[in-house]
Amino acid sequence: MFTPPILLYPALLITLTILVLFLIPRSELRDYLPYGIVLGGLVDVALTWLLQDVFRVIRFCNLGVFHCSGQTVLSPLAWTLVITLYLYMWPQTGNLRYAYTFAWAVLATAFGEVLNNVGLFQYVAWFYPIPLFLVLLGQFVFATWISERSRAD
């Protein structure tokens, strides 16, 4: 029941949790975690619904006990922590911000390919790598835009 591919998401979640707890001070975690929940977890659920159920270009599979309505239960949790880390480490000035966002989108796309290779995630052939990368880049840009606009007040 718990095969190594199925344990990939729990391992990612444990790693991300450790990184969040050790890198982000508790006072700042209270500021960044709500952004992670909304712009990471909820956006992941919405994107998965849109791309999987509406457009049928992606599909989660072989999820074992972590399967819930065609989605992995752990994906929104992982995206919550990813966006929390991303926003906390966001460079405040300079052109490095563009490279930073690009790099996170590349890493997320690469993780999608890892999930595909172990059989937890499938997509139609034309959706990888450029369209998937653009969707993920859009998610990071959207998270940055919302976070920056709400903090400017």
Buried b (16+ CB within 10 A) or exposed e, 57-96: bbebeebeebeeeebbebbbbbbbbbbbbbbbebeeeeee
pLDDT > 70? residue 59 = yes
- Does the global pTM surpass 0.85? yes
pLDDT score at 66? 83
For 27-51, the pLDDT digits (tens) are 999 999 999 999 999 999 999 999 9
Which among 101, 106, 128 is positioned nearest to 117, based on CA atoms?
Answer: 128
| Mean pLDDT to the nearest integer, 6-34 | 95
